[in-house]
Amino acid sequence: MQFWPRKRAKKIYPRTRSWPEISGTKLLGFAGYKTGMIHVSIKDNTNSMTKGQIISISATVIECPPLKPLSLRFYQQTDYGFKIISEIPTTQQFEKELARKIVLKKSSGKTIPENFDRAALQVYTQPSLTSIKKKPEIFEIEISNPTQDFLKGILEKEIKIKDIFKEGQFVDVQSVTKGKGFQGPVKRFGVSLRQKKSEKTKRGPGSLGAWNQQQHTMYRVAHAGQMGFHTRTEYNKLLLKISSKPAEVNPRSGFNDYGLVKADYVLLEGSIPGARKRLIRIREPIRSRSKPMTIEMQ
């Protein structure tokens, strides 16, 4: 079954449910907009047959305009999970599209609580710096090992992707896949077509399973239902490049269905789930992988 249940995502951008535990104090994630794919030539430094040679690989371009802080949230562990105990809003002026929404749930002044188990920074995107949309997205980014000095200055400045990630490291990518609507079991699960003499249907499963024990059809049987628009995570994607020079990657006529990249961007090896213009969340890898690699692009 691979994934279950195959339900529609609640939002068009994903929610991060777990964060890695790393040493040091830093933000653990960022976000950008999926732009398109290109080919890049790099020097292969892996232990493969093409080691030391120049190879061509596919890469995904993600435009990453700076994030603006919205509030600093503090959580405490309870018997029912983490509960927010305090929220410190930023002193910066909100964007026009953001001021219409009520986003601050609880505020208790500008003092950092003495006892808390988890700290997160609530941020919002700046799509106005791109050419795709106006309405910003709001989400939280976990802070690892928060200190007083780090928390005091984090609400006063924009956050850029080069402040969080480095070239050559591995990252996890979270996004919402392309939606394909209500599909049958042949397209949804890849079951084989039945013979033309089959009863009832040809584009369906051959058996609905045993009926002598559970008295109902099991969920493992391939049935029609929602396909696509699911929240998915791809682990350990190689971050090839971080740049603030869009001219290096922009085609002459722009990317299809997107346009020109105007802000900072990153290159990730391989493909990324999701449609163009969709928000992609990038986080520190939660599964251990080898040390950062040295990328030599041609």
* 96 and 238 together in one domain: no
Domain span at residue 81 reads 67-159
Per-residue confidence band for 104, with pLDDT thresholds at 50, 70 and 90: low
Q: Are 249 and 39 in contact (CB under 8 A)?
A: no
Residue 46 covered by a domain: yes
Residue 281 covered by a domain: yes
* 102 and 146 together in one domain: yes
Q: Are 73 and 87 in contact (CB under 8 A)?
A: yes
Residue 206 covered by a domain: no
pLDDT of residue 213: 81
pLDDT of residue 39: 94
Residue 34 has pLDDT above 70, yes or no: yes
Residue 20 covered by a domain: no
Residue 99 has pLDDT above 70, yes or no: no
pTM as predicted: 0.90
Residue 205 covered by a domain: no
Per-residue confidence band for 101, with pLDDT thresholds at 50, 70 and 90: low
Residue 217 covered by a domain: no
* β 170-176/179-183 pair status: unpaired
pLDDT of residue 184: 96
Q: Are 12 and 281 in contact (CB under 8 A)?
A: no
Residue 210 covered by a domain: no
Per-residue confidence band for 245, with pLDDT thresholds at 50, 70 and 90: very high
Mean pLDDT of all residues in 137-149: 93
pLDDT of residue 110: 67
Residue 106 has pLDDT above 60, yes or no: no
90 compared with 269, residue with greater pLDDT: 269
Q: What percent of the chain has pLDDT over 70?
A: 92
Residue 105 covered by a domain: yes
How would you class 76 by CB atoms within 10 Å of its CB: exposed for 0-12, middle for 13-18, buried for 19 or more? middle
The tens digit of pLDDT for each residue in 210-235 reads 877 888 888 889 999 999 999 999 99
* 122 and 267 together in one domain: no
* 236 and 247 together in one domain: yes
* 110 and 137 together in one domain: yes
pLDDT of residue 294: 72
Q: Which helix (H) or strand (E) holds 236?
A: strand 231-243
Q: What is the dihedral of CA 240, 245, 250, 256, to 10 degrees?
A: 80
In angstroms, rounded to a whole number, what is the distance separating the alpha carbons of residues 51 and 47?
6
Residue 94 has pLDDT above 80, yes or no: no
* 272 and 181 together in one domain: yes
* 122 and 270 together in one domain: no
* 121 and 40 together in one domain: no
Q: Which candidate, 199, 292, 193, places its Cα nearest to that of 242?
A: 292
Written as six digits, the tokens of 53 are 């040679």
Q: Which candidate, 61, 56, 151, places its Cα nearest to that of 110?
A: 151
Boundary residue ending a domain (113, 144, 159) = 159
Please tell me the total count of domains within the chain. Answer: 2
Mean pLDDT of all residues in 147-174: 92
* 182 and 248 together in one domain: yes
Q: What percent of the chain has pLDDT over 90?
A: 66
* 235 and 298 together in one domain: yes
In angstroms, rounded to a whole number, what is the distance separating the alpha carbons of residues 212 and 203?
25
Mean pLDDT, the chain, whole residue set: 89
* 164 and 245 together in one domain: yes
* 141 and 248 together in one domain: no
pLDDT of residue 153: 85
